[in-house]
């Protein structure tokens, strides 16, 4: 007796549906990216032209800028839009060409038919997470350099950072984000414990990163130059320094001078360069450290937890959009697409409201970051399971 052949997990029909989705996804990705770049370039043309030296330099600045920021734009804006639009267009083409009828006649359900689209959207979500975690932080210097070609200044005035672990307040009179160099440096002791503390005043400070470090790596240190330091004891009294051997006795010193010295601090460039709305440049490790050390603990904790949930938007919106377009696409394609857009908008609004409640302390941060993704995933799963066949 012949044994039946095992059923393949991936059939020819699965490959056919997947090819349709991938083709539409690629076309939409190119179209939406070009449209976004064109609109953004027109709206910021004066900013590019102001810093460009001739037409060739203008084209080069635009090319460098959009080449650097395109991965960031894809993760934050275009990814979910392209995923859900490709899924809706793919299903619509099947409906308009009456290809679903013979598929259903073979006994295959709509849920099984569109499984390759769901699988592809899940892979897109995974890809978004990897780009956000691996690619963007490693190219953050190029992104900042490209952004500076459109902004008027690379410098910030009066930068202040509290290093609670080392008990010091670091003050930069002026900081260059692109060069990662500060001028007018003061390091003020805050006396958290019983040990001696140093008050440092220097002409400049520069972030020194090892050759293997990329982006905003935690490796590296601040090197302060041309400065002086005063030591205070646990009673906040100035420690008098004896004269060096080549100086006569009695010439005690209130301060020591130095040409350059490393600064002992937990502060990193991300702590002075990045605001909360720029956390997209940071890795999970940097977000976790920022949440642990920043006074704005809840805000940074929300950013850290949202990093796990945000890439899933690509999958969630496709899971929500497929049942809607199947239910209304045969009767009114435009209405089905509009309804899917409305559900997607509702997700973003609900997610933003829940995150805001978490930041304000009305609900736990972990709940605010995950309640909308979990709720809409459950809703999408119910609608997908109840899709008519």
Per-residue pLDDT of 313-343, as tens digits, reads 899 999 988 888 887 765 566 666 677 677 7
Q: What is the pLDDT of residue 6?
A: 45
Do 329 and 251 lie in a common domain?
no
Do 120 and 187 lie in a common domain?
no
Show the CA angle centred on residue 354, arms to residues 305 and 337, nearest 5°.
Answer: 100
Domain boundary among 265, 292, 321: 265
Average pLDDT, the chain: 80
Query: What token pair was written down for 8?
Result: 């393949």
Q: What is the pLDDT of residue 220?
A: 82
The answer to whether residue 257 scores a pLDDT higher than 60 is yes
Least confident of 177-181, 258-262, 298-302: 177-181
Do 34 and 143 lie in a common domain?
yes
Q: Which ranges constitute the DSSP H helices of 199-332?
A: 269-273, 284-293, 297-309, 313-329
Q: What is the mean pLDDT of residues 205-231?
A: 76
- Tell me how far CA of residue 126 lies from CA of 26, 91, 215, 255, 333, in angstroms: 17, 23, 21, 55, 30
Return d(Cα 266, Cα 218) in angstroms, integer. Answer: 9
30 pLDDT band, cuts 50/70/90, is: very high
Query: Beta-carbon neighbour count of residue 182 at 10 Å?
Result: 25
29 pLDDT band, cuts 50/70/90, is: very high
- Tell me how far CA of residue 343 lies from CA of 109, 316, 322, 346, in angstroms: 24, 11, 11, 5
Least confident of 61-65, 107-111, 367-371: 61-65
Least confident of 29-38, 131-140, 141-150: 141-150
Read off the pLDDT of residues 223-250 as tens digits, 9 standing for 90 and up: 999 998 888 776 667 777 666 666 655 5
Return d(Cα 53, Cα 64) in angstroms, integer. Answer: 15
The answer to whether residue 255 scores a pLDDT higher than 80 is no
174: helix, strand or coil: strand
Q: Confirm if 159 and 171 have CB atoms less than 8 A apart.
A: yes
Residue 155 falls inside a structural domain: no
The most confident of 181-195, 273-287, 371-385, by mean pLDDT: 371-385
Q: Confirm if 94 and 135 have CB atoms less than 8 A apart.
A: no
Return d(Cα 296, Cα 289) in angstroms, integer. Answer: 12
| Domain membership of residue 198 as a residue range | 166-265
Do 114 and 197 lie in a common domain?
no
Do 259 and 198 lie in a common domain?
yes
Long-range contacts, 365-374 (Cβ 8 Å, 24+): 365/298, 365/301, 365/302, 365/305, 366/305, 368/302, 369/302, 369/305, 369/306, 369/309, 370/305, 370/309, 372/347, 373/309, 373/312, 373/313, 373/316
Residue 5 falls inside a structural domain: no
The answer to whether residue 63 scores a pLDDT higher than 70 is yes
Do 71 and 196 lie in a common domain?
no
The answer to whether residue 5 scores a pLDDT higher than 50 is no
The answer to whether residue 8 scores a pLDDT higher than 50 is no
Do 114 and 221 lie in a common domain?
no
Q: What is the pLDDT of residue 167?
A: 78
Residue that wins the pLDDT comparison between 171 and 296: 171
Question: Rg (Cα) of the chain, in Å, rounded?
Answer: 28
Q: What is the pLDDT of residue 75?
A: 86
Overall domain count for the chain: 2
Beta bridge mates, 197? 232
Residue 281 falls inside a structural domain: no
Do 207 and 103 lie in a common domain?
no
51: helix, strand or coil: helix
260: helix, strand or coil: strand
Do 133 and 64 lie in a common domain?
yes
Residue 280 falls inside a structural domain: no
Q: Confirm if 189 and 232 have CB atoms less than 8 A apart.
A: yes
Q: What is the pLDDT of residue 218?
A: 57
Identify the H or E element spanning 207. Answer: strand 197-208
Classify residue 51 by burial, with Cβ atoms within 10 Å: 0-12, 13-18, 19+: middle
Do 57 and 97 lie in a common domain?
yes
Return d(Cα 79, Cα 33) in angstroms, integer. Answer: 10
* Residues in Cβ contact with 62 at an 8 Å cutoff, skipping those fewer than 6 apart: 41, 48
Q: What is the pLDDT of residue 377?
A: 92
Q: What is the mean pLDDT of residues 364-378?
A: 91
252: helix, strand or coil: coil
Residue that wins the pLDDT comparison between 308 and 270: 308
């Amino acid at each position: 007796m012949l044994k039946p052949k095992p059923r393949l997990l991936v059939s020819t029909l699965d490959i056919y549906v997947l090819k349709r989705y991938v083709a539409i996804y690629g076309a939409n990705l190119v179209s939406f990216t070009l449209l976004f770049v064109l609109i953004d370039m027109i709206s910021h043309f004066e900013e590019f032209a102001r810093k460009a030296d001739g037409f060739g330099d203008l084209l080069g600045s635009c090319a460098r800028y959009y080449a650097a920021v395109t991965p960031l734009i894809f993760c934050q804006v275009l990814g979910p839009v392209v995923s859900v639009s490709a899924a809706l267009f793919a299903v619509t083409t099947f409906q308009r060409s009456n290809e679903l009828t013979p598929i259903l006649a073979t006994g295959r359900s709509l849920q099984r038919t569109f499984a390759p689209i769901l699988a592809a959207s899940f892979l897109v979500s995974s890809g978004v997470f990897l780009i956000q975690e691996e690619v963007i932080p490693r190219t953050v210097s190029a992104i900042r350099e490209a952004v500076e070609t459109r902004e008027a200044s690379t410098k910030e005035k009066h930068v202040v950072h509290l290093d609670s672990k080392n008990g010091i307040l670091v003050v930069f009179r002026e900081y260059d984000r692109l060069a990662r160099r500060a001028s007018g440096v003061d390091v003020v002791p805050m006396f958290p414990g019983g040990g001696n503390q140093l008050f440092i005043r220097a002409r400049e400070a520069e972030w020194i990163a090892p050759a293997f470090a990329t982006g905003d790596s935690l490796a590296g240190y601040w090197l302060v130059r041309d400065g002086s330091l005063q030591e205070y004891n646990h009673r906040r009294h100035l420690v008098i320094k004896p004269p060096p051997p080549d100086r006569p006795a009695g010439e005690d010193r209130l301060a020591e001078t130095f040409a350059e010295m490393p600064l002992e601090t937990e502060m990193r460039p991300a702590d002075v360069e990045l605001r909360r709305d720029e956390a997209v440049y940071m890795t999970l490790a940097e977000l976790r450290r920022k949440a642990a050390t920043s006074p704005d603990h809840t805000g940074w904790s929300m950013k850290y937890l949202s990093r796990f949930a945000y890439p899933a938007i690509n999958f969630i919106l496709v899971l929500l959009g497929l049942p809607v377009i199947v239910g209304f696409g045969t009767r009114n394609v435009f209405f089905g697409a509009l309804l899917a857009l409305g559900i997607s908008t509702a997700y973003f609004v609900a997610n933003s409201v829940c995150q805001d409640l978490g930041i304000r302390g009305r609900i736990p941060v972990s709940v605010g970051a995950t309640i909308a993704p979990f709720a809409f995933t459950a809703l999408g799963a119910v609608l997908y399971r109840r899709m008519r066949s």
